[in-house]
C-alpha cells in the first residue's frame, strides 16, 4: 500500500495493520480503510498462547460493514437495514421451505423473488410472513410442485384468502405468469397419503383418467383442484376394491364433505358414470357435458316456464272464482294501506304476514286458483282506483273472517308487482297529475316508478321537481315516536355506550393523577436531505443549521481548549470538512479523546444557538443538562474569545428544536473521516472509494 495518499491531511505515511484489517494515516489519524481483504493467511498469537487466523467474517449477501467508514452514515444505515431484511427473509424462507420439503434450488429461486420484492418495496406494509409465503408459493407454481396454498396457510395459520391476495399482488408486480394449476399434479401426492400399497400406481392412473374425463365434461373450471382430486381418487379407489371412506379422503385432500359429495353427484350425472369399470378403462365417450352450474340454471328456467304455463291455464277456469270475487273486493277496500306513520304500516304488514302463515298447508290448485283470481281482480282494482278515487273507506282492516279472506289478501298483495307492470302507465299519470293532493299514499309500487329526469341546477340548489314531499314527511318521526326510538337505540347500544363512559372516566382519573399520557400519533422521522454546498464553509453553515446541539458535552472544558487552540485552525477546506465529518461520526461514538482544537471553535459557534434553545424542552426528555448555567455564564464571554476567522461564518440563528437535540458536536474525533466532501453523505462517493 505504498504510494497512497491520505485524504484527510494529504500525508503519505499510511500504516497498514493486517490483524485488524485497517489502513490508518499516521499524520492525522484518519482511518482510510477497514476490513481489508487480503489473500494471504496470517496467524497471530492469542492471549492464551494459541494462534488464530487473522481476519474477519464478511457475509456473502449484504454488504456487512462497508469497507469505507464515515461519509454517509445515512446510507450505511439504509444498507444495513436492507441486508438485515434480506438475511431475515432468507432464514424464514429456509425454515418454511424445509417444512414443505422443497429442494435447495426452489429455495434459492424463492429468495430471488424475495429480493425482487424487497427492491420494489412490496414488503412495506405487509407482514413479512405473508410475503415469504407468497414467494414460496410462486416458486411452487412455476416449478409445478404439488403444494397448495392451503398447505402454506396451514403452516402459518393465516387465512388462505389473505395469502392469496398477497400472492396475486406479487405475481402481478413481478410480472410473473404463474401457470394454471392442473389437478393431475396433486394426484400422486394424495394417492401416496392414502396408502394404496403396491397398487398405488394403478389407482393413480385410473384417477388421472377420471380427471381427464371430468375436464372434458366441464366439471373442473372454476373448482378447487383439490376437490376434484378427492372425488377422482375416491372413485378410483372403489374401482380397485379399496374401501376408502369419505372421511379419510377429506382429511387428506382438505375439502369439506359436502363439496366432495357434490362433486360425486355431478360426476354421476355425466354419462361416463354409467360405464362399468372395464368399459371405462377402454372406451372414451365422445360427447361433452355442460358445466353443472349451467345445467342448474337451465333447470330453474324450465321450472319457471312450467309455472307460467300452468297459471295461464287456470286463468281460463273462471267459474268457481266469481263467488270469491266479491268477498275479496270488500276485503281489499277495508285493508288498503293507510300509512299514518311507519309504525302503523308495520303493523299492517304484520297482519298480512300472520295471514300468510295460514296459507301454508293449503293445496296447490286452490292456491293457484286464488292467484289467478287475484291477478284478475287487480285489473279491476286499478280501474277502480283511477275512476272513483277510492279514498278512506269504511273501517280499518277487518279482522280475518274465515279462511277465504286472509289468503286472498296475501295472494292479492303477492302478485301485485306483476300486476303493477300492467297498471304502470295509469298510475304514473295519476302520480303526476295529483301529486300532493292525496292524503293516503298511492300504491308504493306504482309510484316508485315515476322518475322525472330533471337536470340539477349548477349552483347547488336542490331541484325539487318530482320529489314527493309528503312521503318524505312521513320519514320524520313525531315526538312520541322519537322518544321510543331513542329508548330502543340506547338499549341496543348499551354495551358501546358503557365502554365509552368507562374510557372517559379512566381518562379523567388519569388526568387528575397527572399520569395521563396522550397517545399522539407517531410522527415519522423526517429524512434529512443531503446538504448541497459548494464550499466547505457553506456546508458547515448548513449543517450547523440542521444539527441539533448536544447536552452531553462539557463545554466548559472545551472552552479552555478553544482558547488554547483558537488560532490554529483554518486550514484549507479540508479542515472544516473534517470537522463536519467528525460531527457525523461523533454522533455514534462517544466523545473520545480530544485532539486538536479545531472542533472547539465550532462548538463555540454552536453554543449560542444551543443556549437560546429552550432548556425546558430537553428537560422533558429527561436528559441531564450539563451546563445550562455555566454556558449561560460563559456565553457573554465567548463571542469575544472566539477567533472568528476564515470562511466559516456564524449562523445567527438556529432552527427551533422540537425533538431533543441529539448529541453531536464537535467531538474532536477528528481522526475520523475521509470526507468525500460532506456535501453529499453520498454512498456513491464511498462506493468509488472502496475496492
Partner 1 sequence: TTPMDADSDVALDILITNVVCVFRTRCHLNLRKIALEGANVIYKRDVGKVLMKLRKPRITATIWSSGKIICTGATSEEEAKFGARRLARSLQKLGFQVIFTDFKVVNVLAVCNMPFEIRLPEFTKNNRPHASYEPELHPAVCYRIKSLRATLQIFSTGSITVTGPNVKAVATAVEQIYPFVFESR
Residues lying near partner 1 in the complex (CB under 8 A): 148-150, 160-161, 164, 167-168, 171-172, 175, 177, 180-181, 218, 221-226, 290-291, 293-294, 297, 341-342, 444, 447-448, 451-453, 456, 460-464, 466-469, 471-477, 481-482, 485-486, 489, 493, 496-497
Residue 168 CB, nearest distance to partner 1 (Å)? 6
Distance CA 633, CA 425 (A): 96
Residue 373 CB, nearest distance to partner 1 (Å)? 28
For partner 1, which is the closer residue by CB, 146 or 591? 146
Residue 477 CB, nearest distance to partner 1 (Å)? 5
Q: At what angle do helices 598-612 and 574-588 cross, to 10 degrees?
A: 60
Residue 138 CB, nearest distance to partner 1 (Å)? 12
For partner 1, which is the closer residue by CB, 283 or 497? 497
Residue 494 CB, nearest distance to partner 1 (Å)? 12
For partner 1, which is the closer residue by CB, 186 or 555? 186
Residue 106 CB, nearest distance to partner 1 (Å)? 19
H/E element, 242: none
Residue 67 CB, nearest distance to partner 1 (Å)? 43
For partner 1, which is the closer residue by CB, 32 or 134? 134
For partner 1, which is the closer residue by CB, 466 or 633? 466
Pairing of strands 22-25, 43-45: unpaired
Distance CA 268, CA 257 (A): 17
Distance CA 123, CA 105 (A): 23
Residue 270 CB, nearest distance to partner 1 (Å)? 15
For partner 1, which is the closer residue by CB, 460 or 622? 460
Residue 461 CB, nearest distance to partner 1 (Å)? 7
Distance CA 538, CA 227 (A): 71
For partner 1, which is the closer residue by CB, 103 or 493? 493
For partner 1, which is the closer residue by CB, 486 or 507? 486
Residue 523 CB, nearest distance to partner 1 (Å)? 25
Bridge-partner residues for 17, per DSSP? 22
For partner 1, which is the closer residue by CB, 352 or 626? 352
For partner 1, which is the closer residue by CB, 218 or 381? 218
Contact 599, 593 (CB under 8 A): no
For partner 1, which is the closer residue by CB, 362 or 471? 471
Residue 93 CB, nearest distance to partner 1 (Å)? 21
Contacts by 147-150 with C-beta closer than 8 Å and gap 24+? 147/100, 147/102, 148/186, 148/226, 148/254, 150/226, 150/254
Contact 230, 150 (CB under 8 A): no
For partner 1, which is the closer residue by CB, 268 or 471? 471
Distance CA 165, CA 187 (A): 26
What's the burial of 159, exposed, middle or buried (CB within 10 Å: 0-12/13-18/19+)? exposed
Q: Say whether 335 sits in a helix, a strand or coil.
A: coil
For partner 1, which is the closer residue by CB, 226 or 678? 226
Distance CA 543, CA 481 (A): 69
Contact 388, 431 (CB under 8 A): no
For partner 1, which is the closer residue by CB, 254 or 542? 254
Residue 107 CB, nearest distance to partner 1 (Å)? 22
Bridge-partner residues for 411, per DSSP? none
Q: DSSP states of 569-630 as a string? A: ---STHHHHHHHHHHHHHHHS------SSHHHHHHHHHHHHHHHS-HHHHHHHT---S-HHH
Length of the chain in terms of residues written = 691
- Classify each residue of 19-42 as buried b or exposed e, where b means 16 or more C-beta atoms within 10 Å of its C-beta: eebbbbbeebbbbbbbbbeeeeee
Distance CA 329, CA 326 (A): 5
Phi, psi values for residue 242, rounded to 5°: -100, 130
CB neighbours (10 Å) of residue 581? 26
Contact 262, 296 (CB under 8 A): no
Contact 599, 579 (CB under 8 A): yes
Maximal CA-CA distance, the chain: 126
Residue 335 CB, nearest distance to partner 1 (Å)? 20
Contact 187, 214 (CB under 8 A): no
Residue 331 CB, nearest distance to partner 1 (Å)? 25
Distance CA 558, CA 613 (A): 20
Phi, psi values for residue 518, rounded to 5°: -75, 130
Residue 148 CB, nearest distance to partner 1 (Å)? 7
Q: DSSP states of 297-354 as a string? A: HHHHHHHHHHHHHHHHHHHT--GGGHHHHHHHHHHHHHT----SSHHHHHHHHHHHHH
For partner 1, which is the closer residue by CB, 342 or 347? 342
- Classify each residue of 638-662 as buried b or exposed e, where b means 16 or more C-beta atoms within 10 Å of its C-beta: beeebbeeeebebbeebeebeebbe
Structure letter (DSSP) for residue 170 = H
Q: Which three cell numbers stand for residue 480?
A: 312520541
For partner 1, which is the closer residue by CB, 134 or 673? 134
For partner 1, which is the closer residue by CB, 141 or 605? 141
Residue 634 CB, nearest distance to partner 1 (Å)? 55
Distance CA 563, CA 567 (A): 8
Q: Give one word for 268, left, alpha or beta, with left for phi > 0 and alpha for psi -120 to 50.
A: alpha
Q: DSSP states of 573-585 as a string? A: THHHHHHHHHHHH
Residue 536 CB, nearest distance to partner 1 (Å)? 51
Amino acid at each position: 500500500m505504498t504510494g497512497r495518499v491520505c485524504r484527510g491531511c494529504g500525508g503519505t505515511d499510511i500504516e497498514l495493520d493486517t490483524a485488524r484489517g485497517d489502513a490508518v494515516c499516521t499524520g492525522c489519524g484518519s482511518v482510510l480503510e477497514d476490513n481489508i481483504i487480503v489473500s494471504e493467511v496470517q496467524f497471530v498469537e492469542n492471549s492464551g498462547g494459541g494462534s488464530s487466523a487473522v481476519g474477519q467474517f464478511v457475509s456473502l449477501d449484504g454488504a456487512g460493514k462497508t469497507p469505507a467508514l464515515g461519509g454517509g452514515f445515512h446510507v450505511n444505515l439504509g444498507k444495513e437495514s436492507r441486508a438485515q431484511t434480506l438475511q431475515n427473509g432468507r432464514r424464514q424462507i429456509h425454515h418454511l421451505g424445509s417444512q414443505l420439503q422443497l429442494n435447495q434450488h426452489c429455495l434459492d429461486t424463492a429468495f430471488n423473488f424475495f429480493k425482487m420484492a424487497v427492491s420494489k418495496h412490496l414488503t412495506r406494509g405487509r407482514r413479512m410472513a405473508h410475503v415469504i409465503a407468497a414467494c414460496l408459493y410462486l416458486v411452487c407454481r412455476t416449478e409445478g410442485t404439488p403444494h397448495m396454498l392451503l398447505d402454506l396457510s396451514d403452516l402459518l395459520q393465516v387465512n388462505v384468502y389473505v395469502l392469496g391476495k398477497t400472492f396475486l399482488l406479487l405475481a402481478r408486480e413481478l410480472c410473473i405468469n404463474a401457470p394454471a394449476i392442473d389437478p393431475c399434479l396433486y394426484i400422486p401426492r394424495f394417492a401416496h397419503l392414502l396408502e394404496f400399497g403396491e397398487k398405488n400406481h394403478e389407482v393413480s392412473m385410473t384417477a388421472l383418467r377420471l380427471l381427464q374425463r371430468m375436464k372434458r365434461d366441464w366439471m373442473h373450471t372454476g373448482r378447487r383442484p383439490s376437490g376434484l382430486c378427492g372425488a377422482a381418487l375416491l372413485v378410483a379407489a372403489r374401482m380397485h376394491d379399496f374401501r376408502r371412506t369419505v372421511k379419510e379422503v377429506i382429511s387428506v385432500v382438505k375439502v369439506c364433505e359436502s363439496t366432495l359429495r357434490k362433486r360425486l353427484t355431478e360426476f354421476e350425472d355425466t354419462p361416463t358414470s354409467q360405464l362399468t369399470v372395464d368399459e371405462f378403462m377402454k372406451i372414451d365417450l365422445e360427447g361433452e357435458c355442460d358445466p353443472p352450474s349451467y345445467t342448474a340454471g337451465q333447470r330453474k328456467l324450465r321450472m319457471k316456464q312450467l309455472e307460467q304455463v300452468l297459471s295461464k291455464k287456470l286463468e281460463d277456469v273462471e267459474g268457481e272464482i266469481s263467488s270469491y270475487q266479491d268477498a275479496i273486493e270488500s276485503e281489499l277496500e277495508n285493508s288498503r294501506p293507510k300509512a299514518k306513520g311507519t309504525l302503523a304500516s308495520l303493523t299492517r304488514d304484520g297482519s298480512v304476514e300472520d295471514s300468510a302463515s295460514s296459507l301454508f298447508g293449503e293445496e296447490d290448485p286452490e292456491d293457484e286458483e286464488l292467484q289467478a283470481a287475484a291477478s284478475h281482480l287487480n285489473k279491476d282494482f286499478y280501474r277502480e282506483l283511477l275512476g272513483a278515487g277510492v279514498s278512506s273507506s269504511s273501517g280499518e282492516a277487518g279482522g280475518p273472517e274465515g279462511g277465504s279472506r286472509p289468503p286472498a289478501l296475501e295472494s292479492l298483495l303477492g302478485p301485485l308487482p306483476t300486476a303493477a307492470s300492467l297498471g304502470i302507465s295509469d298510475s304514473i299519470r295519476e302520480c303526476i297529475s295529483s301529486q300532493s293532493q292525496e292524503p293516503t299514499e298511492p300504491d308504493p309500487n306504482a309510484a316508485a316508478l315515476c322518475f322525472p329526469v330533471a337536470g340539477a341546477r349548477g349552483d347547488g340548489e336542490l331541484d325539487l321537481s318530482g320529489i314527493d314531499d309528503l312521503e318524505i314527511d312521513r320519514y320524520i318521526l313525531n315526538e312520541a315516536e322519537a322518544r321510543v326510538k331513542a329508548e330502543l337505540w340506547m338499549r341496543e347500544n348499551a354495551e358501546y355506550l358503557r365502554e365509552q363512559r368507562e374510557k372517559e372516566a379512566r381518562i379523567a382519573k388519569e388526568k387528575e393523577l397527572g399520569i395521563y399520557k396522550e397517545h399522539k400519533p407517531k410522527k415519522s422521522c423526517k429524512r434529512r436531505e443531503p446538504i448541497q454546498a459548494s464550499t466547505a464553509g457553506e456546508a458547515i453553515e448548513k449543517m450547523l443549521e440542521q444539527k441539533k446541539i448536544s447536552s452531553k458535552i462539557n463545554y466548559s472544558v472545551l472552552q479552555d481548549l478553544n482558547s488554547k487552540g483558537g488560532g490554529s485552525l483554518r486550514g484549507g477546506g479540508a479542515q472544516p470538512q473534517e470537522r463536519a465529518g467528525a460531527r457525523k461520526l461523533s454522533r455514534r461514538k462517544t466523545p473520545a479523546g480530544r485532539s486538536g482544537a479545531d472542533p472547539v471553535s465550532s462548538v463555540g459557534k454552536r453554543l449560542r444557538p444551543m443556549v437560546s434553545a429552550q432548556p425546558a424542552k430537553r428537560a422533558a426528555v429527561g436528559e441531564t443538562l450539563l451546563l445550562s448555567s455555566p454556558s449561560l455564564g460563559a456565553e457573554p464571554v465567548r463571542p469575544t474569545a472566539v477567533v472568528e476567522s476564515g470562511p466559516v461564518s456564524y449562523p445567527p440563528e438556529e432552527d427551533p428544536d422540537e425533538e431533543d437535540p441529539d448529541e453531536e458536536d464537535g467531538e474532536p474525533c477528528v481522526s475520523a473521516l475521509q470526507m468525500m466532501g460532506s456535501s453529499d453523505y453520498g454512498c456513491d462517493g464511498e462506493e468509488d472509494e472502496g475496492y
